[in-house]
Structure 1
């Protein structure tokens, strides 16, 4: 699979961009555990061109995260052009345009999936950004706005004509948010359209090896992007690769490994963003890091309420004493 000059052997697994999740500490862990390509949290174009510190910090990545894409969002052509140039100055492997985020605070500002209601503007932004930077430009979007509007096949052809290097399709409409079941049918129609020659990456409801194989068998996609199923479960990339290669399911990681990776994630997050922010954002990961453990609720409640790194490390020590042989 090629994205511009970036070539990836085999079927690549992508870590999806997720706000307050896909920061450098988590991206690095996912790369170590089998993710082939990672993408930053989505970054506001307006924040980048106004030198907002939080937006600029999201551009940071290390060499061992590569290949890495920087994702930006917005609905103003000039702002997106300028933001793409700022992003390109960080030398990512590609820049991704977010036309799929369904959350209200993004859509209400005209960004993300809101552009699916204004396809001419979406295409204008895409073409302008492609022409403004030297790095490859990709797009992530959804099937359409709602059940009555799913223009993804025609849109994919027009995006390809606009010069994008790859397209990721989430198999839901904006109206679905993250509910219901992802529909991979139209992803397959795009991938197998005789006029499509750019890589197509499938996204939505891939939660393990069997579901990844099902998507691949149904659609023939060139790559698979995994989002929410990776939260607190970076091993999913290792497991999917193993299943696709062998047809067998790997055992779940043992407690020693769960604790080691959780501690690594916690420590690197604190170093990167500070103790309070890191502790608050880590809360979304804890239940998944320790899923399936009997009688874990008291530990989970303690992890979800403490705002002290020392206390969290003490709780992790208690978990080790309780569950490690």
Structure 2
């Protein structure tokens, strides 16, 4: 236990250092005005914000994460390479725009490289399914980056949980814990500028690599015995649930799912008058509840673990249904003369 506590303190120090470094980079970008020249989000009819805002969160988070992994977790070098590659491609998309096939192609290459170089000892079709789920996680994190403080806070909570579980799980993995702590810390540094009213947005150069990290580090931990396959899903379940249900609804209506819209549950909460800050805090509470369940379930028999996962999924569906009911009532009232 003393070794675990020492490793946890080390991970905490890494998180704090990465948070300070990320915040310093972003503060410098804002002070010099470079943030506006790198990429700026201009509000449109699908936006929840009202004024132009720099989309440079990735410029603070990703260099710090890549550097930390390179120095502290060299066994995860391929994940760091994938992060750098996706950040570079996504920055071009932030700056100039790229066709959807080019963006998705880059995501596919990063995920494919990970599962080919480090395959899990499972049937090929199971590995292909996991690769697809990781590819979805890359994109859903981008879809869910649309409200002040939401994506940054989810990263802070989610990767902090990864870091803790990697140390105290059945197979302690210090390098994985330190890499996750670095991501969590950098996300915390970004959140200082992103909580409402946001001075900086994450941008594709931040959200796409963050989604990749959530999937890749989750895969790495499962592949090496740090946690069960359900653990990353339960940790990031609010994001996964919102984005997945919204995607299914849009596909059933024949819409292009990759186009920007305002139909996510968090977007509807903001538009219903909840506001950015309260919406973010509500989602933090929901994610924190799922995290407590995930950490608690690690010590339970497998059947009970899956029972908790299924029960929490039902709870999230009921929450979504409640938001849908409020939204329909809101729309019906707004149509009345």
Q: Same fold (TM over 0.5)?
A: no
Q: Relative to total residues, which structure has the larger strand share, 1 or 2? A: 1
User: Larger relative contact order (C-alpha < 8 A, sep ≥ 6)?
Assistant: 2
